[in-house]
Amino acid sequence: MAEGWREVADARSRPWDRPRVRATGARGVWWGALLAVVVVVLLLGAGVGTQRADFSQAFLPPSAEHPFGTDQAGRDLLARSLAGARVSLLVGLVAALVSSVVGVVVGGLAGSLASRGGGVVDGVLMRLVDAVNALPHLVLGIVIVALLGPSLSSVILSVALTHWTTTARIVRAELLALQHVGFVEAAVGAGAGRWWVLSRHLLAHVAGRVLLATVLMVPHAIMHESALSFLGLGLPDDQASLGTIIEQSRTAVLAGHWWPAVLPGLLLVALSLAVFALAERLRPVSRGRA
Amino acid sequence: MSEGYAAGPVEGLRVEGLGVALPDGRGGHHTVLEQVDLRVPRGRLVVLLGPSGAGKSTLLSALLGLLPGGSLVRGHGWWEEEGAGRPLDLVDPGAPARARVRGRVAAWLPQAPQGALTPVLTVGHHLTEKARVHVPVSQVPTTVGEAMRRHDVDPAWRRRLPSQLSGGQAQRVSNALALLGDPGLVLADEPTTGLDRPRATAAADGLAALAHDEGRAVLVVTHDLRLAEQVADTVVELDDGRSTGGDVPVPEVIARARTATHRLAPHATTAQRLAVVTTPRSADGVEPRPQAPARPLHPAGRAQPRPQAPPSQHVPDGPGLTALDLTLRRGRGTLVRSGVTLQVTPDRTTGLMAPSGAGKTTLLRTLALLHAPSAGQVRLDGRPVRGTGYAVPPAVRRRVAFVPQDPRQGVDPRWTVGRSLLEPARLAGRPADDTTVARLLDRVGLAPELASRRPDEVSGGQLQRVVLARALALDADYLLLDEPTSMVDAATARAVVRAVHEHQHTTGCGVLVASHDEELLRTWCDVVVEW
Amino acid sequence: MRLLDRSARAGSPLTRLVLGRLLLLPVLLAVVTLVMFVLAQQTPFDPVLAALGERALTMDGPTLEAMRDRAGDTGAVQQWAAWWGNALQGDLGVSSSQRAPVATVIAQRLPWTLGLMAVSLVLAVAGGVLVGGLAGTRPGSWADRVAGGGLLSVQAAPPFWTGLVAVWVFAVWLGWLPTGGATSPDTDAVEPFDVLRHAVLPVLVLALSQLPWFGLVVRDATRDALAGLPVRAGWARGIPTSRLLRQHAVRPALLPLVTVVGVRVPELITGAVLVETVFSWPGVASATVDSALRLDFSLLAALTVLTTVIVVLGNLAADVAYRVVDPRVGQRDG
């Protein structure tokens, strides 16, 4: 800068002008991706064979040998928690994918029909979205699992059937909003047909949003699954998820054994936060900025 | 500090060598104001004239202490008051002095008064809150009442929220609020934006009264030449970050500014045909507006007013893009305007002059076959066009090109500029390659290297020209431009006008320019329609 | 003139909104219960018992078995119709898990749940406004970072886990508060102080589980308001900073909160289900879980209907409140 420039003495004291939270750049994306890969590899690689029951070893507090301690059956809680986290993540991913597929189909149908005489279909689909949203998801999940019987597939179904509405709304809103955005109108004005606009402009935009919504849904799905498992409506002991492990620790807590509840729970929180962080890194990418 | 204070003490504002550089978001700075010198003595009204984006608002921000954090300044904005001892630098008074002068010396009249009020607080709340700052609690009610009386604020509005005020009411509330506590300096930002002529005149007179009757120092920043002509005691021009003309008589500065704008005009000779048509508003259920009488505008350099085109809306059946008795509604059905009839004729440039919010964009989108009118017809060379968007045959759609006001949304953010520019040719099945792109970029005065960039890597002005280039690539018979110069600097504006003019010269297309900028339309267009 | 115009028209969209929702409600209830009856045919659940209503209480085993055989042939739709026929007359059937009429079970348990939810909601909103306002008015500061990270972490923590941790710390380790229930087992009477002691942990845990959401909404809205023109204009008018932040930044942010409260009712119910289970709170939410685990179809059906009604009314209240509070909504663009 040339001579004589100075900063206004009290410039930094404006209430609205505190240092901005820095937007994460391209490097942040790679850190997020790396983090996610590490989490997944760790979970997939965690040994399952170490979960041997040995009742003489029950409720050992955390130590070097058992960093998470042992549970009521003397099983190593770290190995069990990692295996449980893997189940939780798997359920979360599959459920998020299934609900995204349902959401894209419903939202895409509603959004593309809304603008051309298909208003009735759009209306019915959106009322359906309202109706599903009008029910507390956990209660709906409880009803579904109760009626279908507890199993991996009914848990996934229960999550997917309650969570597709978010994606459906996003896809529909995005399609409708893009209809009047300058570059779409310009393409239409230049003689583009629906297929041209859809394949060359809309898909790329919607795909970014859907990807983000799907990733953001994973922690929701994990929460939902662990809540069901905690209520005893989720996964059985041999497929224990983190929710199941925490459920089994309830009586132990009353006896003063804190580790079977606290440590697997911390892992659950960490898992959700890691996926959230990944989603935050994906946010700029989903808007078309690297 | 006091070295700069050499001239004799004149009560009022004295800006000396003021420069402002704003942070560019990438750790650097870009200089908005280089060197601004001006004087606003008490009792005088000074107009700072400059195109949009010249840094006028930045100057006001600097004087009000509203510059964004990390900005750099140089020079001073001295405020001198009789009996107040040393003059005070409004730009950089230091924290303790700022706390003392904030809200007491300078009254800010922001460009959009409604948007500057807090939406959830009532008018009364706003006024009382400021009065509490300035007078003892016991005097608050009388002070508020006095301020409301002076600025014509109806006592019934006290309980209203800003959203429950009309534009004019909000303006009065904003004035009452700003002038409560009797500040000596008034800073007005584009006070006539969005107002039709009679209201703009009234607003200008109000500002003049603040200076001449109440003895305040009034600084008005605007790009509105007429406002300057009407009320200014002194006109200072701001161009390229530098101020000029503070010591030149007002008519001279105005004339100079007018000629400068006139250079934009591509064809002074065809301006022979210039005429103004004022369309009466056949409003049903619309708030009646004071209607300006139909009158010709006086193009610079010619003494004779043009004969006036008959306001009766006779529309010939010949070639042209015609709006026939349209009723326009926005979004979910708000009536924008009814009885709109207008024709865009080949090889002529038609101007549509209207304040912002009058429905220019809705009309242009309707003519571009993107928006359905709720009544009336769009005719293309005498034949009505049915439907909008995809329902219109592609060949018909290609005959009308539309350049929207905001270029940021005008191109796909994921595509390179080159790919966007090729889209029209690809859609029309014409062969096109990199040389086509380079030629298009050249036509709007851009370098061919731009082709490989993405929209977020080019400036707003460049993007505006990219969007224009894509519209030109259509080789349309009619080109519709929505406020083509409102968001760009003077150089870009010139490039835009030149490119459109050259294109029209080679293709003979009809051009419709919608703008609120009277000077631009007057110098550019063959016919100007005023709403 | 403008005002008059407004008040004349204000009634119609609001009435239409209320009527629309109230008409949607029975349809929604009918569909939800029908789906339940159809699905239950293939499961260990016993919808027949539900269809019989409270008559089932007076029947002995063999009669019931006979009824079941006969009813088993009638199909889900008939059972569903019979259930609704009884329900509309106030007979919701017998709860097999609680061994009492469903209506009685709900009447006993509903106040506990409503009390828990109401107090928690108030605390969560108050806490959210406080934390969100503090963080939002200081964007980028350490307070903002800590609050932001903290709110996200709390949001990522499942309420049942927070509840268990709270039980361990305050009931088991420190021994300050009871581990569960709403009253002490040795007393039959409901003593206010005793209930209060039992309610502290469930209420705080439920409030904590809802707080982050309100906090983040207030923080973001405050930040937006802070960056807007009105705050700058207020600053230029000389309004003292603390007042500027409170009145011109935080206060506008409370408006979006009004809708958010109603929309959060489903989440609040979800939280209540988990918290009531952890603390053995005798409310309807834990009864929902019980009924699902113990194959008690009558109770599950009635509770599902109840939940749906509460959620729909909550959403409706939010929409109405929003329109009443903010006159801008529904006026722009018709």
Instruction: Give me the DSSP letters along C74-113.
Output: T-HHHHHHHHHHHHHTT---EETTTTEEHHHHHHHHHHHH
Is C292 close to A133, i.e. CB distance below 8 A? no
What is the token pair recorded at B51? 């195109």
Is C152 close to A276, i.e. CB distance below 8 A? yes
Tell me which chain A residue has its CA closest to the CA of residue C154. A269
Residue B472's pLDDT is what? 92
Lowest mean pLDDT among B171-185, C56-70, C197-211, C277-291: C56-70
- C28 with C123, same domain? no
Residue C208 has pLDDT above 90, yes or no: yes
Q: Does residue C124 form part of some domain?
A: yes
In Å, what is the CA distance from B255 to each residue of B224, B262, B300, C19?
A: 13, 10, 9, 64
- How far apart are the C-alpha atoms of B284 and B166, rounded to whole Å? 19
Residue A120's pLDDT is what? 80
Residue A97's pLDDT is what? 92
Q: Does residue C4 form part of some domain?
A: no
Q: How much is the average pLDDT of C247-254?
A: 87
Residue C64's pLDDT is what? 66
- C139 with C262, same domain? yes
A6 touches chain B (CB under 8 A): yes
Helix (H, G, I), strand (E, B) or coil at B416: coil
Pick the CATH number of B268-280+300-530 from 3.40.50.2300, 1.10.645.10, 3.30.1130.10, 3.40.50.300: 3.40.50.300
Q: Which residues of C touch B104 (CB under 8 A)?
A: 238
Q: Does residue A62 form part of some domain?
A: no
Kindly report the CA angle at B137 between B135 and B142, in degrees rounded to 5?
70
Residue A45 has pLDDT above 70, yes or no: no
Is C161 close to A265, i.e. CB distance below 8 A? yes
Is C236 close to B115, i.e. CB distance below 8 A? no
- For B373, phi then psi, to 5°, come to -75, 150
Residue B269 has pLDDT above 70, yes or no: no
Residue B523 has pLDDT above 50, yes or no: yes
Which of C164, C172, C241, C297 is the best residue to mutate to test the A interface, defined by the most A CB atoms within 10 Å of its own CB? Answer: C164
Is C36 close to A147, i.e. CB distance below 8 A? yes
Question: Sorting pLDDT into bands at 50, 70 and 90, what band is C63?
Answer: low
Domain count, chain C: 2
Residue B469's pLDDT is what? 93
Is A142 close to C288, i.e. CB distance below 8 A? yes
Distant-in-sequence, close-in-space partners of C190: CB < 8 Å, separation ≥ 6: C183
Is B67 close to A183, i.e. CB distance below 8 A? no
**Residues C16-40: pLDDT tens digits?**
778 888 888 888 888 888 888 887 7
The single residue listed with the structure tokens 């080019």 is B458
User: What's the mean pLDDT when you consider all of chain C?
Assistant: 80
Nearest to C219 by CA among C209, C230, C227: C227
C270 touches chain A (CB under 8 A): yes
Q: How much is the average pLDDT of A143-161?
A: 83
What is the token pair recorded at B222? 């605007």
Q: How much is the average pLDDT of B330-359?
A: 82
A143 touches chain C (CB under 8 A): yes
Residue A102's pLDDT is what? 92
Which of C231, C240, C251 is opposite residue B120, by nearest beta carbon? C251
Q: How much is the average pLDDT of C245-260?
A: 82
- C279 with C327, same domain? yes
Question: Sorting pLDDT into bands at 50, 70 and 90, what band is B440?
Answer: very high
Which of A3, A184, A185 is the best residue to mutate to test the B interface, defined by the most B CB atoms within 10 Å of its own CB? Answer: A185
Q: Does residue C82 form part of some domain?
A: yes
- C172 with C296, same domain? yes
- C89 with C104, same domain? no
Residue B317 has pLDDT above 80, yes or no: no
Is C167 close to A253, i.e. CB distance below 8 A? yes
C288 touches chain A (CB under 8 A): yes
> For every residue of B226-287, which 3-state class applies, written as one string?
HHHHHHCCEEEEEECCEEECCCCCHHHHHHHHHHHHHCCCCCCCHHHHCEEEECCCCCCCCC
Q: Does residue A268 form part of some domain?
A: yes
Domain count, chain A: 1
A117 touches chain B (CB under 8 A): no
Pick the CATH number of B41-65+92-258 from 3.40.190.100, 3.40.710.10, 3.40.50.300, 3.40.1280.10: 3.40.50.300
- C105 with C89, same domain? no
Q: How much is the average pLDDT of B228-250?
A: 82
What's C326's domain CATH number?
1.10.3720.10
Is B95 close to A9, i.e. CB distance below 8 A? yes
Question: Sorting pLDDT into bands at 50, 70 and 90, what band is A260?
Answer: confident
Touching subunits for chain A (3+ Cβ pairs under 8 A): B, C
How close is the nearest chain B Cα to the Cα of C221, in Å? 13
pTM over 0.90: no
Residue B108's pLDDT is what? 92
- How far apart are the C-alpha atoms of B367 and C56, rounded to whole Å? 72
Rg of chain B's alpha carbons, rounded to an integer? 25
- C157 with C268, same domain? yes
- How far apart are the C-alpha atoms of B16 and B8, rounded to whole Å? 14
- C142 with C260, same domain? yes
Which of A10, A12, A183 is opposite residue B410, by nearest beta carbon? A183
**Residues B101-124: pLDDT tens digits?**
888 889 999 887 888 898 888 899
What is the token pair recorded at B128? 């009382």
Q: Does residue C108 form part of some domain?
A: yes
Nearest to C250 by CA among C214, C224, C212: C224
Residue B275's pLDDT is what? 41
Nearest to A158 by CA among A186, A175, A139, A179: A139
Strands B275-278 and B527-530: parallel
In Å, what is the CA distance from C6 to each residue of B170, C48, C174, C221, C318?
A: 18, 54, 60, 28, 21
Nearest to A76 by CA among A86, A84, A65, A85: A65
Q: Does residue C5 form part of some domain?
A: no
Lowest mean pLDDT among B215-224, B414-423, C63-72, C289-298: C63-72
A21 touches chain B (CB under 8 A): no
Is C247 close to B121, i.e. CB distance below 8 A? yes
pLDDT: is B468 or B10 the higher one? Answer: B468
Residue C122's pLDDT is what? 92
Question: Sorting pLDDT into bands at 50, 70 and 90, what band is C56?
Answer: low
Which of A137, A148, A223 is opposite residue C158, by nearest beta carbon? A223
What is the token pair recorded at B171? 């303006």
How close is the nearest chain A Cα to the Cα of C288, in Å? 8
Is A12 close to B390, i.e. CB distance below 8 A? no
DSSP state of B326: E
Helix (H, G, I), strand (E, B) or coil at B377: strand
Question: Sorting pLDDT into bands at 50, 70 and 90, what band is C205?
Answer: very high
Q: Does residue A34 form part of some domain?
A: no
Lowest mean pLDDT among A27-31, A57-61, A102-106, C44-48: A27-31
What is the token pair recorded at C40? 């239950």
Residue B229 has pLDDT above 80, yes or no: yes
In Å, what is the CA distance from B427 to each residue of A188, B140, B399, B431, B467?
A: 10, 67, 13, 10, 16
What's A125's domain CATH number?
1.10.3720.10
User: What's the mean pLDDT when you consider all of chain B?
Assistant: 80
Domain with CATH 3.40.50.300 in chain B: 41-65+92-258, 268-280+300-530
Distant-in-sequence, close-in-space partners of A99: CB < 8 Å, separation ≥ 6: A159, A160, A161, A162, A163, A164, A167, A217, A221
**Residues C96-117: pLDDT tens digits?**
777 888 888 888 889 999 999 9
Q: Does residue C3 form part of some domain?
A: no
Residue B128's pLDDT is what? 92
Size of interface B-C (CB pairs under 8 A): 80
DSSP-assigned beta bridge partners for residue B78: B14, B89
- C223 with C240, same domain? yes
* Owning domain of residue C181: 100-333
How close is the nearest chain A Cα to the Cα of C234, in Å? 11
Q: Does residue A60 form part of some domain?
A: no
Residue A221 has pLDDT above 50, yes or no: yes
The single residue listed with the structure tokens 């041997």 is A52
Is A204 close to B420, i.e. CB distance below 8 A? no
- For B364, phi then psi, to 5°, come to -65, -40
Crossing angle between the packed helical segments C102-136 and C284-293, to the nearest 10 degrees: 120
Residue B194's pLDDT is what? 66
Q: How much is the average pLDDT of B13-22?
A: 89
Is B398 close to A8, i.e. CB distance below 8 A? no
- C76 with C161, same domain? no
Is B64 close to C236, i.e. CB distance below 8 A? yes
- How far apart are the C-alpha atoms of B91 and B475, rounded to whole Å? 51
How close is the nearest chain A Cα to the Cα of C119, in Å? 19
How close is the nearest chain C Cα to the Cα of B331, in Å? 7
Q: How much is the average pLDDT of C219-243?
A: 88
Residue A29's pLDDT is what? 58
Helix (H, G, I), strand (E, B) or coil at C148: helix
Which of A5, A189, A194 is opposite residue B74, by nearest beta carbon? A5
The single residue listed with the structure tokens 């259930």 is C83
Residue A11 has pLDDT above 90, yes or no: no
Is B164 close to C2, i.e. CB distance below 8 A? yes
Distant-in-sequence, close-in-space partners of A191: CB < 8 Å, separation ≥ 6: B394, B395, B397, B398, B424, B427, B428
Q: Which residues of B touch C327 (CB under 8 A)?
A: 161, 163-164
- C121 with C78, same domain? no
Residue A99's pLDDT is what? 92
- The set of long-range contacts for C243-249, using a CB threshold of 8 Å and a minimum separation of 24, is C243/B129, C244/A15, C245/A15, C245/C137, C246/C133, C247/B118, C247/B121, C247/B125, C247/B129, C248/B118, C248/B121, C249/A15, C249/C136, C249/C137, C249/C222, C249/C225
Is B467 close to A182, i.e. CB distance below 8 A? yes
Tell the burial category of C294 from Cβ atoms under 10 Å away from its Cβ (0-12, 13-18, 19+).
Answer: middle
Is A265 close to C232, i.e. CB distance below 8 A? no
Which of C265, C267, C293 is opposite residue A232, by nearest beta carbon? C293
Is A8 close to B91, i.e. CB distance below 8 A? yes
- How far apart are the C-alpha atoms of C249 and C242, rounded to whole Å? 10
Nearest to B334 by CA among B290, B285, B282, B386: B285
Q: Which residues of A touch C39 (CB under 8 A)?
A: 147-148
Which of B69, B401, B467 is opposite residue A11, by nearest beta carbon? B69
Q: How much is the average pLDDT of C295-302?
A: 84
Residue B355 has pLDDT above 80, yes or no: no
pLDDT: is C65 or B226 the higher one? Answer: B226
Which of C229, C254, C332 is opposite residue B110, by nearest beta carbon? C229
- How far apart are the C-alpha atoms of C222 and C249, rounded to whole Å? 5
Residue B291 has pLDDT above 50, yes or no: no
ipTM exceeding the 0.90 mark: no
Residue A31's pLDDT is what? 66
Q: Does residue A4 form part of some domain?
A: no
- C203 with C279, same domain? yes
Q: In this prediction, what percent of chain B has a pLDDT beyond 70?
A: 84
**Dihedral angle at the C-alpha atoms of B409, B410, B416, B422, nearest 10 degrees?**
160
Residue C256 has pLDDT above 80, yes or no: no
Q: Which residues of B touch A204 (CB under 8 A)?
A: 414
